Amino acid sequence: MKTNHSKSVLKSAGRPAARSAARPATQLVCPSAPLAMLLLALAAVYHPYARADAAADADAAAQVAGQVCSNCHGPAGVSISPMFPRLAGQQELYLAAQIRAFKSKTRADPEAHNYMWGMATLVSEPMVDALAHYYSTQTPGPGIAGDEKLIAQGKRLFEQGVPERGIAACASCHGADAQGRSIFPRLAGQHAAYLVRQLDVIQQQLRTSTIMHGIVKDLKPDEMKAVATYLQSR
């Protein structure tokens, strides 16, 4: 909260449209409480200098999740707004890696900057693992129905890739049911709008993922939409 960086996050948080002006992508809706208030709540709930042990961390993680993170990511990590990713049932190692990527600012797309950098700064190292554990053990939300034709097209892409264009089958890493494993994120039941945004952001190399950069570099917008619609329906 004391750093210049956090201040700039707070200042810019009210006008995401200006930061994202160059991008045609969807605009985030406002969370249910102003970001500044959420940052204050986070600082109040979690005291980084308190004695740390595993049980205390787990309790504090549930509190932080319920009082702060839930404002955007929904109760127990099942978000309603497609602008905010669902975290429930996500892979533990992947979650921890992403929170650390926000802390180290290697995940550097405009939404990460506006919403998650300031938040992650206030999350201590043990709390990163405790929050990752908390969300990975919550029940994933149900799939969301979509256009059947797109779903069929997306399923094909997910399971087979596009061999003639050197695009690998997504299922080979993300799992046959898109449930993920270890550092490979769960994609099943994730909001399509969020998935498309991330595929776009990864293609622009705003997220550090050497593995994914190669895979999505030639993915077309209609293919992103199809595979995201399929995954959201799972």
Under the binding rule (CB under 6 A), the answer on residue 198 touching ligand HEC is yes
DSSP code of residue 69: I
Q: Which of 12, 20, 26, 209 binds ligand HEC (CB under 6 A)?
A: 209
- What Rg do the C-alpha atoms of the chain give, in angstroms? 18
Question: Could you tell me the two tokens for 176?
Answer: 């046959």
Q: Which of 60, 131, 192, 226 binds ligand HEC (CB under 6 A)?
A: 131
Closest distance between ligand HEC and the C-beta of residue 2, in Å? 18
Tell me the HSE value of 170 on the side-chain side, using a 13 A CA sphere.
25
Q: Which of 16, 74, 82, 85 binds ligand HEC (CB under 6 A)?
A: 85
Where residue 10 falls (left for φ over 0; alpha for ψ -120 to 50; beta otherwise) is alpha
Under the binding rule (CB under 6 A), the answer on residue 183 touching ligand HEC is yes
Which residue stretch of 19-27, 52-60, 141-149, 162-170 sits at the interface with ligand HEC (rule: CB under 6 A)?
Answer: 162-170
Q: For residues 51 and 88, which CB has a smaller minimum distance to ligand HEC in the complex?
A: 88
| Coil, strand or helix at 107 | strand
Contact 197, 209 (CB under 8 A): no
Q: Which of 60, 78, 195, 226 binds ligand HEC (CB under 6 A)?
A: 195
